[in-house]
Amino acid sequence: MSSPDFPPFNAPPLPKVAHDRRLVRRYLLQSALRFNAGSLLFVSLAVALLPLGLDIGPAAPGESGVRKLNPYLVGGVVLAVMLWLALLSSGIARGFLSRLAEEGKALSAEWLASTVTRRIEAPFNPYTTFDLCTETLSGLALGTALGYAGPPAFFHDPFKGRIVLGRWRPLALGRHIEVKVSTELGPSCRIELRSRPGLAWFAIQQGQSLKAAETVCAQLRQHLERHAAALEAARRERELERTSLQARLSALQAQVEPHFLFNTLANLKYLIRTDQQAAQDMLDHLVGYLQNALPDMRSVSSTLGRELDLASDYLAIMRIRMGERLRFDVAVDEDLRRLPFPPAMLISLVENAVKHGLERASRPGLITIDAWCERRNGGQLLSVSVVDDGVGLTEQAGEGTGLANIAERLMLLYGREASLVVEPGMEPNAGQGDARGVRAVLTVPVAGRDA
C-alpha cells in the first residue's frame, strides 16, 4: 500500500489568495441567475400548459371527473426546484473559487466574463497574416489544445478577414472563437480575437472563455513568431551571402588594380631612361588617373562615364609611350554616361587591346570604344564594345587574370543576365596579311542589381 504524497519539509508554503469580496458576491449572483435563466424557459412553458391539465368545466355524462391540479402545489414545486438549482449553482461556483485559490490565482473580471477579447500586432501585411491565421486555427493541434476530439469546426471569409471556429456546427450556438484580421493595407496589421459563449451563456462561467481566448492567442503568437523568425533567418542568410559576395568582388578587383599599375610604372621607368619629357607627361597623366580612380578602387559600383574617363586617361598614358602607333576614339552619348556600370572591367578590356593587339603589331593601330542600349527579353541592357585593329586573337590574348576576372565578376554580380563576348574584329585590309583585330563586347543589365 503506497503512502500518500506529502510536500517536502523545505517546500515553500502554498500561497493564500484572498478573492475580492465584491467580485465573489457578483460571481455567485451571476451564476445563480444564469443557471436558473435556462430553467425559467421550461418553467414558463409548464405554466403555459398548466390549464390544459386542470378540469375547469363539469364532467360529461357517463365520464368520471378529471382530478384537478392544485396551482399552489405546482407553484410550490417550481419554487422548490428553483431554490435547489440556486443552491446547486452556488456550490459549483464556490468549488471553482476554491480551485482558483489552490492554484494561487485571484478571481478577476475576465474569469466571470462570457466574452473575452484579445489583440495581437502582426508584423506582416493583412493577406499574409490571414493565411497564417487560417493555417494555425484549422489544425488538429489547436483542436487538441482546446479539448476538442479533433480539428475545430471552421469557417473563414478572406474578403472580410474573418475566421470563426468552435467545437461543432452551427458555430453560433456553441462556445466559439471569432478572429478578425484588419484589412488596412500596410507592412503590419492587427488581429482581434473574441471568445463568444453562444448557449453557454446560461451555464456557470468557470473561466472557459478566458482559457479558450488565451489558448488561441498563444497558438497564434507562437506561429507568427516562428514565421517571423524564419523570415529573419532567411534575411540574415541573404545578408551573409551578400557580404561574402562583396568580399569576393573586392578580392577580384584587387587583382586588377596592381595589374594596371605595375604595367604603367614599368612603362614610366622605361621612359625615364629614354625620354624625360615624355616621362613627365606620363607621370602627370598617371597622377590625374589615380586621383580619379583611388576613391572608387574598393567600390563595386560606378558609372559608365567614370569608367570611360579612366580608360581615356590610360590610353593617353599609353599613347605617350607608343607614339603614333596608338590612336583611340571614344564615341558614347552623354545620356549613357550616367548609367551604372561595374568598375575596373572596361579598363581591363582596353589594356588587353593595347597589350595583346597593338603592341604586337608592326604598324599604327586604332582602338574604338562605343556604347549602346537595347531591350532584350523584357529588360534593358547596356553594351560597351572595345575594338582594335591589332594582330587579332592569339593564344596569349586569353592568358592572365583580365578576361577570367571579368567573367567571374559578371557571374557574381548579374548571373546569366550579363555576358562578355570576345571575337575577331575587322576584316583584314590589303597588305595587312591576316590581321583582323579583336572585338570585345561587355553587356550588363541596366535595371538589374546594383553593380
Angle formed by the axes of helices 208-274 and 126-137, to 10°? 130
Q: Is residue 223 part of a domain?
A: yes
- Residue 93's pLDDT is 84
Taking residues 21-43, report their average pLDDT.
Answer: 79
Residues 221 and 195 reside in one and the same domain: yes
Beta-bridged to residue 179, according to DSSP, are 163, 193
Domain containing 344 — which CATH number? Answer: 3.30.565.10
> Could you read off the pLDDT of 273-320 as tens digits, one per residue?
887 887 887 888 787 777 666 655 556 678 899 889 888 888 888 888
Number of C-alpha atoms within 13 angstroms, CB side, residue 210?
10
- Of the chain, the percentage scoring pLDDT greater than 70 comes to 76
Residues 305 and 384 reside in one and the same domain: yes
Question: Of the ranges 38-42, 99-103, 384-388, which one carries the lowest mean pLDDT score?
Answer: 38-42
By residue count, the chain amounts to 451
- Of the chain, the percentage scoring pLDDT greater than 90 comes to 25
- Buried/exposed 167-176: b ≥16 CB within 10 Å, e otherwise: beeebeebbb
Phi-psi region of 335 (alpha: psi -120 to 50; beta: other; left: phi over 0): alpha
The domain tally of the chain equals: 3
Domain containing 129 — which CATH number? Answer: 3.30.530.20
> Could you read off the pLDDT of 251-281 as tens digits, one per residue?
555 555 566 677 778 878 877 888 788 788 7
Residues 87 and 152 reside in one and the same domain: no
> Could you read off the pLDDT of 127-156 as tens digits, one per residue?
999 999 999 998 888 988 888 888 899 899
Task: Say how far apart CA 446 and CA 382 lie, in whole Å.
Answer: 6
Greatest distance between any 2 Cα atoms in the chain: 154
Residues 183 and 287 reside in one and the same domain: no
Containing structural domain, residue 306:
275-445
Give 176's pLDDT tier (boundaries 50, 70, 90).
very high
Residues 321 and 414 reside in one and the same domain: yes
Residues 98 and 121 reside in one and the same domain: no
Q: Is residue 1 part of a domain?
A: no
- Residue 368's pLDDT is 94
- Residue 451's pLDDT is 42
Q: Phi, psi at residue 243, to the nearest 5°?
A: -65, -40
Give the number of other CB atoms < 10 A from CB of residue 313.
Answer: 20
Of 285, 397, 420, which Cα lies nearest the Cα of 342? 420
Q: Is residue 2 part of a domain?
A: no
Query: Which cell is 443 given?
Result: 553587356
Residues 319 and 364 reside in one and the same domain: yes
Number of C-alpha atoms within 13 angstroms, CB side, residue 94?
6
Q: Is residue 359 part of a domain?
A: yes
Phi-psi region of 147 (alpha: psi -120 to 50; beta: other; left: phi over 0): left
Task: Say how far apart CA 105 and CA 103 lie, in whole Å.
Answer: 6
Q: Is residue 4 part of a domain?
A: no
Q: Is residue 243 part of a domain?
A: no
Residues 284 and 173 reside in one and the same domain: no
Q: Is residue 252 part of a domain?
A: no
- Residue 165's pLDDT is 93
